[in-house]
Structure 1
Amino acid sequence: MVQRRSQRFQFDTLEIDRSATQPLHRQLESQLRDAIRAGRLRPGEKLPSTRGLCRELQIARNTVAAAYEQLLAEGFLEAEIGSGTRVSQQLPENMAPAASGKQTAPRPLRRRLAQRAGNIERFADWAPRIITAPQPFRPHTPAIDHFPRDIWQRLADRRLRRLPRLTFMGVDPAGYAPLRSAIAAYLGASRGLACAAEQIVVTSGAQQGLELIARLLLDPGDRFWLEEPGYCPAWHAFTTHGAIGAAIPVDEQGIDVAVGEQLCPAARLAYVTPSVQWPGGMTMSLPRRLQLLDWAERNEAWIVEDDYVGEFRFAGRPQQALAAHDPHGSVLYLGTFSKVLFPGLRLGYLVVPEPLVRSFATSRWLADRHSPVFEQATLTDFIEEGHFARHLRRMRKLYAVRQQAMFAALDAAFGSAIDYDRHEAGLHVVVQTRDARQNRRLQRAAHEAGVEYHAVDQYSAVDHKTPGLILGFAAFDEAQIAEAVQAWAQRFFSS
């Protein structure tokens, strides 16, 4: 009698429900765990690579990596260099597959989480568990291979030798004083924003700045404006603290203030990205800026100006910050070094009106005391010795070339099949799709070609979501851009 070979697990039977509240990586993780417990995935059986499974299921590679990492940590999987990821040969006794294949129900959690945990869990799939090398066209990624690591290392080595002993005990919660002075001088020269060093609060990236703003300026039930589509991690930060958001549409001049006043006249705060609107890419016009400032003054409201890549304008000088036009102290200016230098540098800053400085510094102290002193001191030297300004000039030229390469590649490969706007600032391009079917085809083709993107609709807070794909070009040279766009287009037109 011939013994039948056991059938391999069919990974295409895994089901990912994008409409479910459970994050995608949790869905995948749960199904793989259940398959191992039930014996459908046997000990020693090899799993697809993260790249292979993400293409199979049409999900992000980071989603697969996060699920694999969790199962590795739990002992369900094992990985060796050169042999890939496999089901563990020796599962712990309480994890081993039952002979009958029946599973006992998981023990319910008797202690409940706070209600705000539900808001936080919605963003769990956004947080990468494993940092992977960026593939074209991952947004929010600068050209880290062009960062002057040798200069940074020299400055860091020198700082380690010369940093005063007392500084190792800590610094002002608002930040290392010389860095705050350097940031104030830089903003005055480059963004037209006259502020005192004492108004600067150094943060662990821009997201912490948003958390501080939510904590100090919004009470539960307060309403706020956010651009639609817009930067939804800001929506998350504010709603987690009990505030209620109003999605205000944008046009070619930026956020539509008149519509905002109709939809939500009693808003306490407006969050905007005036230099390079995220994700639309347009620059807010001067009349619209003045209209927004007038609204804030009349309604005693706050404006949060997130200037995440305002340095990268490719025609003329960077525009003055919105805060530079504010005579009433309505604007809190938010900046970051993570997107300008390298993402692992978790340093950002807030410029707050003088009456708020003490409250923000105290809140920063309660959160995590202060940002690492050593990195703050090294960054201070990098700015004061002119390396920061030189790096920005080099990157401006490099990104301008890469932006034009992106435009040329899209035109050559897709022709009139797609639409996009040619903005003069920012580090991304938005491909605008004409209907839901084309949107799905472009996304499916991108997955098949290994092209990374962000969907525009994931930054939407309304039911009728804006379709489109956000493509970051900053981290990729002209050859990579042309090759990736061509591969994407081939799969699109053959589908």
Structure 2
Amino acid sequence: MTKSPAQDPSNAAPLHEQIYARIRASIRQGQLKPGQRVPSLRAFAGELGVARGTVQVAYERLLGEGYLIARGPAGTFVSEQIAPSRPHRVAAAAGSSRTPPNQELTEFSIETEGGIPAPLQLGLPALDEFPRKLWTRLMARQVRSAGSLTRPASAGFGPLREALAAYLQRSRGIDAQPHQVFVVPAYTASLALIVDALRLAGESAWVEDPSYPPTAQSLRRLNLQVRNVPVDDHGLDVDFGCQHFPEARLAVVTPSHQSPTGVALTLQRRVELLDWAGERGAWIIEDDYDGEFRYRGHPLPALKSLDTCDRVIYCGTLSKVLYPGLRLAYVVVPQSLVPTMDLACRRTVHGGCPELLQAVAAEFIAQGHFARHIKRMRTLYARRRAMLAEALAPYKTDGFTVCLQDGGMHLLVDVRDDLDDLAMARRAREAGFAVHSLTAWRQGAPGRRGLMMGFTNLRSQTEADRLVAELMRALKA
């Protein structure tokens, strides 16, 4: 933050407004870094030659909007949840509605690895509410035990497999033994492991349309033929898949909270899908990426809990519930697949996940902290979802309609048919927002248009209102 006289003679704004704007600009431009301590009220007032109360007014506004965080005697710090603005980039065809060849990649390019979350980013848990002290204490205990110095088992750390099996039985209705649970680094690793174990390379696979883009990308890299099956208000259209792609041997679905539309697969469709798999000798991958977070009624039972023919392979993740740097996911397979999965694990995973993190996660789950954390996050996310919905409500007349589904970690905002969601998502990314377009997640024919926004890291209604106002200015630019 540059040092300069407090008041700009050419600026008619009140002094506290000028100080507020200067600090805010320093944060947004990256001159003040996330987590950096800012001067105390007394020190900054002395530096600028103004009254302490004037600086206090500016600081209180920045605190209220989420730019600063007060940490008692330690001082005041720049929030770690504020992403610096990115330089504006002018696309070669900025006015075109045509999808660029690398659209699937540019949709995710704003979410840089190793950095702070971009505003409204999808797929992230509430990082500000992660129980760091508890996690650190558990990790210190595991380090002292030195168990993490051994070579990790390729199928996963035994106590973690036990803890996951017990948790899934209680919370998701999945009756599985620990040896049926395999720990992997990520969802894409789960797909690679399953395809290798089942020898599915060269086969056809149903994929929901629209769907999470990395699913289709990963399957193509694994040499599967992707068959797009549309999703309607009842979930995956199983009858369409049976009629158009009867040769498929795999279906990848998100039944609890369809990604990205948010609809739940109805009971009738679940039965139809299980019947198809049983009759065809096909397999179903159930991606239950955020099934714990449902805000009306109880979480839906997993599709796997209805599987009497042992055709469902269940995929879950700890990274989306706890924190993304954990890099822990898991696969639950039918008893008949355990031997082949054991062999595939040794071929594909190459040493497994770090045992230290697996051991900490196992203790976190076994001691009940995981279940309590999910319960607390469910309440928090419901509140933060309402904040984003309220901030978006005034823009309904401009063609933006919030779709409040029963669960999930993001909002889908329908846009008018005459608005281009691809172009709007590009403008949002250029302004620093991690907003996704529904069209970019669509694999087949054109259809409904919309924008997807994450809400889990919003901490106040003021912050939600500010971010949405900035986003709308960018969309209309």
TM-score by length of 2: 0.75
For 1:148, the aligned partner's letter is P
How far is the alpha carbon of 1:387 from its aligned partner?
1.1
**Whole-Å separation in 2 of the counterparts to 1:285 and 1:332:** 19
Cross-structure match for 1:142: 125
Using a 3 Å threshold, how does the CA distance of structure 1 residues 122 and 484 change in structure 2: closer, same or farther?
closer
What per-residue deviation string (whole Å, max 9, x for no partner) do you get for residues 469-488 of structure 1? 11111112232221111222
Counterpart secondary structure, 2:337: helix
Out of 358, 373, 395, the position equivalent to 1:391 is 373
For 2:378, the aligned partner's letter is R
Identical columns (%): 36
Cross-structure match for 2:31: none
Out of 362, 365, 381, the position equivalent to 1:380 is 362
Out of 207, 210, 213, the position equivalent to 2:188 is 207
For the aligned residue pairs, the C-alpha RMSD in angstroms reads: 2.6
Out of 397, 402, 409, the position equivalent to 1:427 is 409
How far is the alpha carbon of 1:442 from its aligned partner?
3.5
**Whole-Å separation in 2 of the counterparts to 1:480 and 1:343:** 23
**Whole-Å separation in 1 of the counterparts to 2:149 and 2:401:** 54
How far is the alpha carbon of 1:129 from its aligned partner?
6.1
How far is the alpha carbon of 1:458 from its aligned partner?
2.4
Out of 135, 144, 159, the position equivalent to 2:142 is 159
Does 1:488 pair with 2:471? yes
What per-residue deviation string (whole Å, max 9, x for no partner) do you get for residues 78-109 of structure 1? xxxxxxxxxxxxxxxxxxxxxxxxxxxxxxxx
* Conservation of the 8 A alpha-carbon contact between 1:308 and 1:334: yes
**Whole-Å separation in 1 of the counterparts to 2:317 and 2:194:** 15
Bigger RCO of structures 1 and 2 (CA < 8 A, at least 6 apart): 2
Does 1:458 pair with 2:445? no
What per-residue deviation string (whole Å, max 9, x for no partner) do you get for residues 325-380 of structure 1? 00010000000001000000010100001121122222222231221111110111
Using a 3 Å threshold, how does the CA distance of structure 1 residues 279 and 385 change in structure 2: closer, same or farther?
same
Out of 453, 456, 466, the position equivalent to 1:471 is 453
What per-residue deviation string (whole Å, max 9, x for no partner) do you get for residues 49-72 of structure 1? 99443444499xxxxxxxxxxxxx
**Whole-Å separation in 1 of the counterparts to 2:280 and 2:329:** 29
For 1:381, the aligned partner's letter is E
Cross-structure match for 1:64: none
What is the correspondence of 1:184-203 to structure 2 with a 5 Å cutoff? 184-203=165-184
How far is the alpha carbon of 1:490 from its aligned partner?
3.9
**Whole-Å separation in 2 of the counterparts to 1:55 and 1:481:** 25
Out of 215, 237, 259, the position equivalent to 1:256 is 237
Out of 160, 173, 190, the position equivalent to 2:154 is 173
Point out where structure 2 has 5 or more consecutive residues left out of the alignment. 1-82, 94-100
Count of residue pairs brought into register by the alignment: 385
Cross-structure match for 2:309: 328
Counterpart secondary structure, 1:275: coil
What per-residue deviation string (whole Å, max 9, x for no partner) do you get for residues 157-182 of structure 1? 01111244xx6322432111111010
**Whole-Å separation in 2 of the counterparts to 1:158 and 1:313:** 33
* Conservation of the 8 A alpha-carbon contact between 1:218 and 1:241: no
Counterpart secondary structure, 2:365: helix
**Whole-Å separation in 1 of the counterparts to 2:168 and 2:180:** 12
What per-residue deviation string (whole Å, max 9, x for no partner) do you get for residues 240-275 of structure 1? 122111100001111000111111011100000001
How far is the alpha carbon of 1:199 from its aligned partner?
0.4
Out of 290, 303, 312, the position equivalent to 2:293 is 312
* Conservation of the 8 A alpha-carbon contact between 1:446 and 1:452: yes
How far is the alpha carbon of 1:406 from its aligned partner?
1.4
Cross-structure match for 2:389: 407
Cross-structure match for 2:47: none
* Conservation of the 8 A alpha-carbon contact between 2:311 and 2:334: yes
What per-residue deviation string (whole Å, max 9, x for no partner) do you get for residues 292-323 of structure 1? 11111111110000000001011122111000
Cross-structure match for 2:87: 53
**Whole-Å separation in 2 of the counterparts to 1:121 and 1:176:** 38
**Whole-Å separation in 2 of the counterparts to 1:331 and 1:210:** 13
Cross-structure match for 1:133: 116
**Whole-Å separation in 2 of the counterparts to 1:458 and 1:489:** 20
Using a 3 Å threshold, how does the CA distance of structure 1 residues 446 and 197 change in structure 2: closer, same or farther?
same
For 1:133, the aligned partner's letter is I
Using a 3 Å threshold, how does the CA distance of structure 1 residues 463 and 289 change in structure 2: closer, same or farther?
closer
* Conservation of the 8 A alpha-carbon contact between 2:185 and 2:328: yes
* Conservation of the 8 A alpha-carbon contact between 2:197 and 2:343: no
Deviates further, 127-136 or 141-150: 127-136
Does 1:276 pair with 2:257? yes
Counterpart secondary structure, 2:325: coil
Using a 3 Å threshold, how does the CA distance of structure 1 residues 121 and 163 change in structure 2: closer, same or farther?
farther
How far is the alpha carbon of 1:286 from its aligned partner?
1.1
* Conservation of the 8 A alpha-carbon contact between 1:136 and 1:480: no
Using a 3 Å threshold, how does the CA distance of structure 1 residues 445 and 331 change in structure 2: closer, same or farther?
same
Cross-structure match for 2:339: 358
What per-residue deviation string (whole Å, max 9, x for no partner) do you get for residues 425-470 of structure 1? 0011112222354435643653465432112222222253653211
TM-score by length of 1: 0.73
Does 1:371 pair with 2:353? yes
Using a 3 Å threshold, how does the CA distance of structure 1 residues 230 and 218 change in structure 2: closer, same or farther?
farther
**Whole-Å separation in 1 of the counterparts to 2:473 and 2:219:** 42
**Whole-Å separation in 1 of the counterparts to 2:434 and 2:261:** 18
**Whole-Å separation in 2 of the counterparts to 1:471 and 1:480:** 14
For 2:217, the aligned partner's letter is H
**Whole-Å separation in 1 of the counterparts to 2:265 and 2:102:** 30
**Whole-Å separation in 1 of the counterparts to 2:108 and 2:456:** 21
What is the correspondence of 1:223-302 to structure 2 with a 5 Å cutoff? 223-302=204-283
Cross-structure match for 2:325: 344
For 1:409, the aligned partner's letter is A
**Whole-Å separation in 1 of the counterparts to 2:237 and 2:425:** 29
How far is the alpha carbon of 1:489 from its aligned partner?
2.7
